[in-house]
Amino acid sequence: MASLGTSSTLGVWAVVVSCLTLLITGATYRLYLGPLAKFPGPRLAALTSWYEFYYNYFERGRFTWKIKELHAHYGPIVRINPHELSIDDPDFLLDEVFAFKSKLDRYEGATKHFAMSDATVFTVSHDLHKLRRGPLASFFSRSMVSQSEDLIRNKVGKLCSRITGFQGTEQPIDLSLAFRCLTTDVVTQHVLSKSYGLLSTPDFSPAWFEAVRESGEFAVVGKHFPWLVPLMKDLPRWLIRRLNPKMVRYMAKSEAIQEQVAGLVDEESGTKKLQDGRETLLHHLYRSDLPPSEKTASRLSHEGIVVVGAGSETAGIAMSFSTFHLLDNPDKLSKLRNELVRALPDPEVIPEWKEVEKLPYLVGDSMSS
């Protein structure tokens, strides 16, 4: 009995000593021996990714601002975690980093947040990214997007009539939500040929956008614990509803895109033309000359889900910020208004892009500012 007790105590000590050795070796490597050890930055950030996680998770996305502070303190190149540097010098990035090595792979640690590694934007290999980017770029070419101009103008008309509906009422309008409804309806119609129809919802669907935000905020958890997001996707719906009720709606929409792709890929004789003659992004990718390994249901659905996300929050928020700054700068607002009134005298008619793109102040022509 005594010798059994002694050997199990020895076993525990062996585990403790091994763990300590690993920790000390890892810390020494990160702080003094690794290739990033010579760069300035907080020692704690060099030692552990929990530093970044603290600001991003507990301070809800504040790491970007913390990095700005670190640059002010340490200079243009700062080590922000054990594996990454931040470079706050665009000229140096272009002239030295990218020029020195034109074929750069993406840093793998920055691709795991959403468990969508088959989407172009999360592709690690430079060459694979280039291959995937080709048909994506042609789908968003000027001529392809202009085929959707009528639908965009139709949605803008819908937004205008919703805004007019608030005139003369005591009710305030949440323009940030309204703009995001517009961009979501446009991108889903253009990319999936099936608009989510959020502009028609009386309250501009705040719950949907909360779910989108939640999924964005969850990305910081996904970066730190890359195994967690795939696990979440496999959890039963009732459990997710308990853990994070808002996520359920977002996940259901993502699954609807997956189903749409599955139907598309199952067709043996190519793809069906859509009734209105416009093809979706998914059809476009499926018909492209990408190799079959790039046309799997899983990959195409990653691409679809990411592009719907990429085209909705981003552009909607840009419109909200522009509106805020215009209202905050009456001189700029009146300059823009004068330009619009002169060029487009009938406010009832939604102009065509070919007229709008000629307006120098609106499109940011530097000579007119």
Which residues would be at the binding site for ligand HEM (CB under 6 A)? 120-121, 133, 136, 187, 307, 310-311, 314-315, 318
CA distance 154 to 70: 47
**Which of 293, 302, 252, 261 is closest to 119 using CA atoms?**
302
Shortest CB 335 distance to ligand HEM, Å: 22
34 phi and psi angles, rounded to 5 deg: -65, 165
**Residue 148 beta carbon to ligand HEM: minimum distance, rounded to whole angstroms:** 10
Q: How far is the CB of 140 from ligand HEM (least distance, A)?
A: 6
Beta carbon nearer to ligand HEM, 244 or 320: 320
Residue 48 or 126: the one with the smaller Cβ distance to ligand HEM is 126
Q: Please, what is the minimum distance in Å from the beta carbon of residue 120 to ligand HEM?
A: 4
Q: Which is nearer to ligand HEM, 48 or 323 (CB)?
A: 323
Residue 130: φ, ψ to 5°: -65, -45
Shortest CB 238 distance to ligand HEM, Å: 33
What tokens were used for 215?
Answer: 């999924």
Place of tokens 């913390």: 66
Classify residue 98 as exposed, middle or buried by CB count within 10 Å of its CB (0-12, 13-18, 19+): exposed
Task: Please state the closest distance from residue 37 (CB atom) to ligand HEM, in A.
Answer: 26
Residue among 30 and 309 whose Cβ is closer to ligand HEM: 309
**Angle value at C-alpha 220, between 308 and 306, nearest 5 degrees:** 15
CB-nearest residue to ligand HEM:
311
Of 46 and 116, nearer to ligand HEM (C-beta) is 116
At its nearest, how many Å lie between ligand HEM and the CB of residue 114? 12
Could you count the other beta carbons within 10 Å of the beta carbon of residue 19? 10
Report helix, strand and coil shares of the chain as percent, to nearest 5.
Answer: 70, 0, 30
- Cβ 354 to ligand HEM, closest distance in Å? 20
> Got the DSSP string for 198-251?
GGGSTT--HHHHHHHHHHHHHHHHHHH-TTHHHHHHHS-HHHHHHH-HHHHHHH
Would you say 133 or 272 has its CB closer to ligand HEM?
133
Q: What is the DSSP letter of 347?
A: T
Shortest distance in whole angstroms from residue 149 CB to ligand HEM: 14
The residue among 131 and 310 lying less far from ligand HEM, judged by its C-beta, is 310
CA dihedral of residues 66, 68, 73, 74 (deg, nearest 10)? 100
Using CB atoms within 10 A of its CB, is residue 14 exposed (0-12), middle (13-18) or buried (19+)?
A: exposed
Q: What letter represents residue 39's amino acid?
A: F
Instruction: Kindly state the tokens that stand for 9.
Output: 């105590």
Closest CB to ligand HEM among 274 and 318?
318
Residue 21 and residue 352: Cα distance in Å, rounded?
Answer: 68
Which CB sits closer to ligand HEM, 61 or 245? 61
